Chain A
Amino acid sequence: MSTIAAGPSPDATIELVNASRWYGNIVAVNDISFALGPGITGLLGPNGAGKSTILHMLSGFLKPSNGDVRILGQPAWQNVALYHQLGLVPEREAVYSFLTGTEFVELSARLHRLPDPAGAARKAIAAVEMGFAADRATGGYSKGMKQRIKVAAALVHDPEVLLLDEPFNGADPRQRIQMMALFRSLAAEGRTLVFSSHILEEVERLAENVLVIVAGRLAASGDFREIRKLMTDRPHTFTLRTSDNRKVASTLIGDPSVFGVELDDDRVTVRTNQFAAFTSSISRLAQAGGITLYELRPTDESLESVFSYLVNR
């Protein structure tokens, strides 16, 4: 299904309806509603945006201050039976350091009262390609290895819904690729995966659907390409240093992709709302006018500025 709707949906595996969560006077999540079906959804937002709060509410570890949070049609809060169908990979690195990888995953299987805990653990460990270190104590694992063994423990009971809080933290590029392939195959089997990340590229590479969370609010949701386009076509500001700033300024003012030019002593500041058009036209204009470009620098490319644009648009 992989759909995101603004309100409740009968086919949704995960639903938030006007969910809010506050701590005293601090609002961590503010009146968020969405419904998700099977597939991979990325929760994207800067650190402290409220992604973990949403995941904690989904996993039944935080009571919504207001609104409803439902998984597979059941309330998430105070519903331990839900964990039969729910797997959780927490953000914190901590694992039982005295257990080996196999013991850690088997523990999860035994807590789920699976009929063959050893067999289920072997299968889950193979899925995350951790067989080579399964007999070593997890206390000696690297951060990326801990992430993978945590994923194996969360997968051991074959859950329908998998919640992952920053699952790629500490993973090296090869481990990322491997885990992404695993998550895609799990989604292809009809499971619902929700993962959080503050890294745009991770979400871009993996998620079919994206929920952009900024300051506790749902800033944007839907297909990643649409959101990416929104992010790309927002107003951008560039500074240029060239061999002839005055000529560049007078040329750019006539360019349809530009809506503002400012000429300073040693630089030109340009504002555009067509990122792609501007970046291709500037090199063409420079070449045609015989101007040398010393520097072309976007001034507002931080992820936070992208997110705040989405919130304020």
Chain B
Amino acid sequence: MSSVVFQLTMRQLLGRGRTLLMLALSLVPLLLAVIVRLASPADYDHQDFVANAIYSSFVVTLILPLVALVYGTAVLGAEIEDGTAVYVLSKPIPRVQIVLAKLAASWLATSVTVGGCALLAALVGIAGASDDGMLLGFTVGIVLGALAYSALFVFLSVLTSRALIAGLAYVFIWEGLINGLFDGTRLLSVRHYTLGIADAFTTVSDRVFEAELSPTTAVVAMALLAGLATWGAVRRLQRFEIGETT
């Protein structure tokens, strides 16, 4: 991995308004947790609220893929789009090092933003009660899910100039709709990998939270997807051509 490319990319990501926007989006579950805690409903179940309302429904389903999509398509795709990618690509650096640096930057930014904010929300939600490994489990799941999403979206960004649309289609149509209709398609769902990995660390009852994929299946499928997407991005970048308008 090229550390120079990684530092440059982090500076690009963090120095722009999009980071504030992603942070604001990631803080929505914290806001929700604070409101619910202040309201103190009579039937409040700490574990159920954290596992399902905060993590499953909100963070893993919506915020993690959206933040990963924005960062994943920005780290390389935005540079290709605005023409600055040529300053990195015209250097004697193997393309694999460039892709790994871009992937690492997207992974780090997504993990810290989403994982950190989700952990804060969960801490408020659990309010000192026992979490039965949920906080650790979901944090690990989010960090690994961020890697898989980042790999997928970096690949999409070198594959097509409409990576954002393709990514949204994956998140909302594939994961949001098709995964709910056909069980087998969950094997190609980063959302289900994330939940499966989180489940490996939790000891809460199945009534509160149970993932559709086993942890082993989730880890193997996630590793395969992330590996293939990274390999695809490297191959694509090795054959990258500047168009007449680029």
A59, A80, A90: the one contacting B95 at CB < 8 Å is: A80
A98 neighbours in B (Cβ, 8 Å): 11-12, 15
11 contacts between A and B (CB under 8 A): A23-B244, A53-B244, A60-B90, A82-B92, A83-B90, A107-B8, A107-B87, A110-B4, A111-B2, A111-B87, A111-B93
CA distance in complex: A84, B91 (Å): 7
Q: Is A63 an interface residue (CB 8 A)?
A: yes
| Other contacts beyond A61-B242, A94-B83, A98-B15: 19, CB < 8 A | A28-B244, A61-B241, A80-B95, A83-B90, A83-B92, A88-B86, A90-B86, A92-B83, A96-B8, A96-B84, A98-B12, A107-B4, A107-B8, A107-B87, A111-B2, A111-B87, A111-B91, A112-B91, A113-B92
Given contacts A83-B92, A98-B11, A111-B88, whether A92 and B246 have CB atoms under 8 Å apart is yes
Indicate if the CB atoms of A112 and B83 lie closer than 8 Å.
Answer: no
Q: Is B94 an interface residue (CB 8 A)?
A: yes
Q: Which positions 29-76 of chain A face chain B at CB distance < 8 Å?
A: 52-53, 56, 59-63
Indicate if the CB atoms of B95 and A61 lie closer than 8 Å.
Answer: no
The smallest beta-carbon distance between B246 and chain A, in angstroms, is: 7
Q: Is B89 an interface residue (CB 8 A)?
A: yes
The smallest beta-carbon distance between A249 and chain B, in angstroms, is: 48
CA distance in complex: A113, B87 (Å): 14
Indicate if the CB atoms of B4 and A56 lie closer than 8 Å.
Answer: no
A110 neighbours in B (Cβ, 8 Å): 4
Q: Which residue of B lies closest to A63 (CB)?
A: B241
Given contacts A61-B89, A61-B240, A63-B241, whether A94 and B95 have CB atoms under 8 Å apart is no
Q: Which positions 92-122 of chain A face chain B at CB distance < 8 Å?
A: 92-96, 98, 107-108, 110-113
Q: Is B238 an interface residue (CB 8 A)?
A: yes
A28, A59, A94: the one contacting B84 at CB < 8 Å is: A94
Given contacts A90-B83, A95-B84, A98-B15, whether A108 and B91 have CB atoms under 8 Å apart is yes
Q: Mark B77-120, 1 if CB is under 8 A from A, else 0.
A: 00000111011111111110000000000000000000000000
For chain A, which range describes its interface: under 10, 10 to 19, 20 to 34, or 35 or more residues?
20 to 34
Interface residues, chain B, with chain A CB atoms under 8 Å away: 2, 4-5, 8, 11-12, 15, 82-84, 86-95, 238-242, 244, 246
B88 neighbours in A (Cβ, 8 Å): 111
Q: Is the interface of B mostly helix, strand, loop or mixed?
A: loop
CA distance in complex: A110, B238 (Å): 21
The smallest beta-carbon distance between B243 and chain A, in angstroms, is: 8
Q: Is A248 an interface residue (CB 8 A)?
A: no
CA distance in complex: A136, B199 (Å): 51
Q: Which residue of B lies closest to A104 (CB)?
A: B87
A84 neighbours in B (Cβ, 8 Å): 92
CA distance in complex: A32, B242 (Å): 20
Q: Is A81 an interface residue (CB 8 A)?
A: yes
Indicate if the CB atoms of A111 and B94 lie closer than 8 Å.
Answer: no
B5 neighbours in A (Cβ, 8 Å): 111
B8 neighbours in A (Cβ, 8 Å): 96, 107
The smallest beta-carbon distance between B32 and chain A, in angstroms, is: 34
The smallest beta-carbon distance between B26 and chain A, in angstroms, is: 23
A53, A61, A80, A93: the one contacting B94 at CB < 8 Å is: A80
Q: Which residue of A lies closest to B94 (CB)?
A: A80
Indicate if the CB atoms of A96 and B239 lie closer than 8 Å.
Answer: no
The smallest beta-carbon distance between B19 and chain A, in angstroms, is: 12
Q: Is A153 an interface residue (CB 8 A)?
A: yes
Q: Which residue of B lies closest to A81 (CB)?
A: B92
